[in-house]
Structures are given as C-alpha cells and as structure tokens.
Amino acid sequence: MIQFAVLVLLFALWKPIFMLYNQSGPLAFTDYLQVIWHGLSLDATVAGYLSVIPLLMLIVSIWFPALSLRKWLLPYWSLIGLLVAIGLVVDTALYEFWGFKLDATIFNYLDSPSEAMASVSIGFVILRVSVIFLLAVLTSVLLIRLTPHNFPPVKHRILDTVSALLIGGCLFIIIRGGVSESTANIGQVYFSQHQFLNHAAVNPLFSLISSAGKSERFEDKYDFFPEEKRASLFDGLYPVASSDSATTHLLKTERPNILIIVLEGFGAVFTESLGGAKGASPNFDRIAREGVFFTQFYANSFRTDRGTICIFSGYPGLPQTSVMKIPAKSRTLPSIAASLSAAGYRTDFLYGGDINFTNMKSYLLGSGYQQITADTDFTLAEQRSNAWGVNDDITFDHLYKVIANRTDSQPWHTAFLTLSSHEPFEVPFQRFPNDKRLNAFAYTDACLGKFIDQLKQTPAWENLLVICLPDHSCDYPEGKIVGRTSPDFYHIPMVWTGGAIKKPMVVDKLASQTDLPATLLAQLGLSADGFDFSRNILDSSYTYPFAFYTFNDGLGFIDSTGATVFSNESGKIIAEYPSADTLRLQRGQAILQTVFDDLGAR
C-alpha cells in the first residue's frame, strides 16, 4: 500500500526537522542517518496501525467494485493527516520544555490550556498552529490523491481477497514489531548513549499511544523483583529513628514559626556556591553562609507538581505519573501541613499563579493548608505582571506584610511557591540582559534577599525558621536537554535560616527532597509516622546516605560509591560512574517498585 510507504517516509523525514529544532550541540551527518534508520521500525508500526482501515476497505471493494474508495476514505485520511500533523509538531515544540517525547503527560494539562501555554507567546502558538494546518493539508491531500476512486474489477475475487489478507498478515507483523517474543516498544529504537538521539528516533505517536494505554493498576507497574527480593533490597533504606538514637538539633526552640519557600526551578546550576552560574545567586549564597546549608541535596523529580508532593508529603516523584493529578491518591498522603496543624499550627499557602493548575488546590487543601492565597487575590494588573501570574517581587512583598502584621501567639506555618523563574523568563530586572533565563533566576534571588533582609528587622525573625529549596531544577545553559537524566540536573540547594537557628552549619550528607518532612518534624519533637519514604538525615540512624530520583520513564540512584541512571522504557542503563554497581540499580528499582505498590494500595 503506497499510503503506508508515504506515512513511513513522512515520519522519517520529520526526524531531521525535530533534531535541528531541538539540538543543543553539533550533530554529525551520520547521527541524522542513524536516527532515521533506527526509528524506522516504530515509524512502520504506526503507519501499519493507520493502514488497517484502508486495507479493510480495499478488501470490501474487491467484492463491491462500485464502492468509491476515495469517497469513503476521504474523511479518514483527512483526520489522519490532522492527527499526524498535531503529533509531529506538538512533540517537536514541547520537547524543548519537557526534555522527553510526547506522551500521556499532555493529557494532564488539557484541563488548564491557558496555564499550560503561559510559558510561550501568542506568536509562538500561532506559528505552530499554522505549521500544523499546513502539514495536515499537505498530508491529507497526498494520501487522498493516492487513493483510487474505485478498485478495478477483478475476475478472481477469492484469490485477490487471500492476497489482501496476506498483506494484512504482513501488516500485523509490522505492527507487532516482528516475530520475536517482544512486541513493538520504545526501547527497540534506542541505540546511543546520547539520550537526545534516542528520543529523536522515537515516533511521537507511538510514544503517546503506548503511554496512554498503560494500565492504571499502579501496583502492577515496575515489578522488577519477586516480593521477597524487593523487600530485602528495600529493607533499611528508609530507617525509622529509635528512641535511643541521637539527632543533631539545629533550633533554639521546639516551636518556631515555619516558612517554607519553594523556589521555582532554582537548581544548583544557578547556585554559585555549588559551582553554578556566576552572579546569579549572591543573596542565596549569603543566606546559606548565615544558616544551615545542605550541599548534597537532590530533587526527586523534574516538574513542579511532582516536586511539591516530594517536599510537603515526603513522597517520591514518579515517572509518567503525577500523584497530584489523582486526588483519590494524593489526599491519602501524609503532609507537613497536616502534622503541624495537628500540633496547633495555623497553616497557609501562597502562590501567585493559578492554584487549580495540575490539581494543586485539591492537594493543598487535602494536605492540611487552612488558607490559600493565589492569583485572584491580587489586582488584575498584578495578575498580568507575569505569564504565569503575579511576579515574585509582588508576592514576596505581600508575604512580608502578612508576616510582619501577625500579632497573635499561635504558631504558624506558611508555604510559598515562587513563579517568575519559569519560561518565558520575562521579569522586571536587568542584571543579565543578554541571558533571559539566568536573569530570571537572578531576579528571584534579588527578591529573596530583599525579603530576608526585611524580615530580620521585624520581631517575627527571632522565632522564625525559614527553609528555602527548589521544586526541581532547570536546564542551563538554555537547551541543554540531554542533562535531564543526569544526577547533576537534580542537584539542588537547601538552606535553613532565621532567628530560630542556633548557628551556621554545613551539612554535606547525601539527601533528597523527600527527607524534609522527617528531618523537620524531628527538630520539632513531632512524630513522622506515615512518612514512609522520608528520613531524618540529622539522626544517628541515618547511616546509608543516598539520593533517589525519577525522570519521565527512568530513575537515578546516587550513593557514596557513585551513581546509576536507568531507563525503564529501554530497559538499559544510561550511565553509571565511576564504575558499574549492580546493587545501586537494584536498590533504585526496589524503591520505585515499592512506591508504586504503595500508591496502588492507597
């Protein structure tokens, strides 16, 4: 079938376009050829799926020659042309922001399209919609023109039907991915240590369909080991402090007021004291010197909705699954706010954007935050100061006034999520006018520094604990997509400061975002029961420091021996250094399997 060949050719020719649009460094001509060659199998699989209905219509026309093939297939090929165009263009456009191929993640954002597109301009959207329209028209017209009006009358209908069925059998084998035991899967096109090349080889429509079709029985996912081995590998990774263990105490008091500031995307790559960009974080670095600086801290995930769950519920980020988007699950999680509320704290949350984005409001209210302040609580002009909502200088100023005006004696916990250091990185600040991304982070740093300096002048400072950490990291320099599987991408800073801190200190222990709840609650003398994936890293029971993280469909595990990065979709180790270590991979897999078993049971 010539339409099958046309579709395969279209998918193959689009790959160089994808690569040219998204490449972050020089690529050899052979890289383009290898991507096209290795991607052909999935391209053929998708083309095979799309050719099933035309083949069936062909068989029908053998017996009913008066049937107009072109007439009946015109709406079908028109729809296919549109869907193919949308898949190819959207995948190409989103990759620079996501760093992974088009998959079911996109459905998480369809209920909030305006927020999902806040990172881009109207011109960006119009241009890509125009390309979709043009590509859809060209594809549809070509497929329709290649479809005959009528199938020529035949003398041997049975023989021709059998021949068509044989073609169908070949099509089935192509769709299946061959005759071996394994069926078509994304891993079959992986061929390089360069993840970008592997991603470029993956057909985006196959990626979308395969991820959307996965079972939602979470307990059945990532079953790497039999239960006995899983339990053995997992045992001891998240120790519970005993009554006779000793915790290093950082605070002057057991009941400070607690402010957690989640800095959008502010990874170690923007923190000069951790080897990041020079000049981006002078205020954060100063605050770190004055407080408790956690230098070997790692994010557990790569998106705000995941990172928020990690920080406040001590629950690991999951590949291809956003727990925040599943209220039936997220409301069963423990949380810092719920624990503090039970201990008599008043709790509130501040975010200058749309609090309904990715079901955030549902999660926050369900996790114990008694009051939420969001974009609609600000003036219309303030709401429009940033593509995502209210700029950080405005929200920091609002937060300062709220804290400075609190006079009652009830302890309080406030959480604040910033937003200006996010695409499109448009901020009212000009420290780095030629580098929008770096300038946006420098702007948030400046807002943070001013805020802390103001708080120091108020009575609230004396009994205040301020915890600053990011929700995740961000690509830098711009377009450095290949780093999103690397441990370096997940390295983030965390600082505890405020008048409640006894003295400055540097904590160099390996740890993760999920360890914040248990570590914080232990400082307050409160139980961390229920935080099964959170460790008190300042306790003597913390004898095996490690960090665990996940990306779109993979995991990373870091301990004192090195790091291992594993791709679930390809079933292959992406990187491990300084040398191979089977136990690192197995422990990471055991954690992932345990978390999904836990999620399925909730």
Over the stretch 342-355, which tens digit does the pLDDT of each residue have? 999 999 999 999 98
Poorest-confidence range of 162-166, 330-334, 357-361, 531-535?
A: 162-166
pLDDT of 169: 83
Given a cut of 90, whether residue 72 has pLDDT beyond it is no
CA distance 553 to 320: 6
**DSSP 3-state percent helix, strand, coil across the chain (nearest 5):** 50, 15, 35
Q: What is the pLDDT of residue 153?
A: 66
Averaged pLDDT, 394-421: 97
In this model, does residue 334 exceed pLDDT 90? yes
Nearest to 93 by CA among 156, 31, 135, 141: 135
- Cross-strand pairs, 258: 413, 465
How high does pLDDT run on average in the chain? 91
Average pLDDT over residues 474-495: 83
Tokens of residue 75, six digits = 């709406």
Give me the pLDDT at residue 442, please: 98
pLDDT value of position 211: 74
| Confidence at 220, pLDDT banded by 50, 70, 90 | confident
- Confidence band of 60 (pLDDT split at 50, 70, 90): confident
Mean pLDDT on 79-93: 95
Domains of the chain (ranges, CATH numbers)? 2-212 (no CATH), 252-479+498-567 (3.40.720.10)
Q: Is the pLDDT assigned to residue 475 strictly greater than 60?
A: yes
Two tokens, residue 490: 């997940």
- d(Cα 515, Cα 310) in Å, to the nearest integer? 9
DSSP notation for 440-480: HHHHHHHHHHHHHHHHTTSGGGGGEEEEEEESS---SSTT-
Q: How would you classify the pairing of strands 562-567 and 554-559? A: antiparallel
The Cβ-side half-sphere exposure at 247, using a 13 Å CA radius, reads 20
What DSSP designation does 150 have?
B
The pLDDT tens digits of the residues spanning 318-328 come to 998 899 988 88
Please, what's the largest Cα pairwise distance for the chain? 97
CA distances 128 to 92, 256, 373, 423, Å, are 10, 51, 35, 17
- Type of residue at 323: V
**301: Cβ contacts below 8 Å, ≥ 6 apart:** 307, 310, 316, 317, 318, 472, 549, 550, 551
Q: Other C-beta atoms within 10 Å of 589: how many? A: 22
pLDDT at 515: 98
User: If you average pLDDT over residues 123-136, what whole number do you get?
Assistant: 93
Residue 421 has pLDDT above 60, yes or no: yes
**Averaging pLDDT over each range in 74-83, 89-98, 168-177, 238-247, which range is the top one?**
74-83
pLDDT in tens, 553-574: 899 999 999 999 999 988 999 9
Region of poorest pLDDT, from 13-17, 174-178, 237-241: 174-178
List the single range of 88-102, 511-525, 551-565 with lowest mean pLDDT.
88-102
What is the mean predicted confidence (pLDDT) over 508-521?
98
CA distance 342 to 120: 42
Q: How does pLDDT run across 179-205, given as a tens digit for each residue?
A: 766 678 887 888 886 878 988 999 999
**Does residue 384 carry a pLDDT above 90?**
yes
- State the average pLDDT over residues 227-235: 97
pLDDT of residue 210: 79
| Of 178 and 12, more confident | 12
Please say whether the dihedral angle defined by the alpha carbons of residues 156, 159, 164 and 167, taken in this order, is positive or negative: negative
pLDDT of residue 70: 81
Lowest mean pLDDT among 91-95, 109-113, 130-134, 416-420: 109-113
Percent of the chain scoring above 90 in pLDDT: 71
- Local structure of 576: helix, strand or coil: strand
Residue 293 has pLDDT above 80, yes or no: yes
pLDDT of residue 155: 65
Rounded to whole angstroms, how far apart are CA atoms 249 and 383? Answer: 41
CA distance 79 to 74: 9
Mean per-residue pLDDT for 116-142?
Answer: 89
| Mean pLDDT, residues 256-277 | 97
At residue 61, the pLDDT reads 74
98 to each of 38, 93, 184, 196, 361, how far by Cα in Å? 23, 9, 24, 12, 23
Task: Report the pLDDT value the prediction gives residue 422, as an integer from 0 to 100.
Answer: 94
What confidence tier does 214 reach under pLDDT thresholds 50, 70, 90? low
Is pLDDT of 481 > 60? no
Which tens digits make up the pLDDT trace of 43-57?
Answer: 999 999 998 888 888
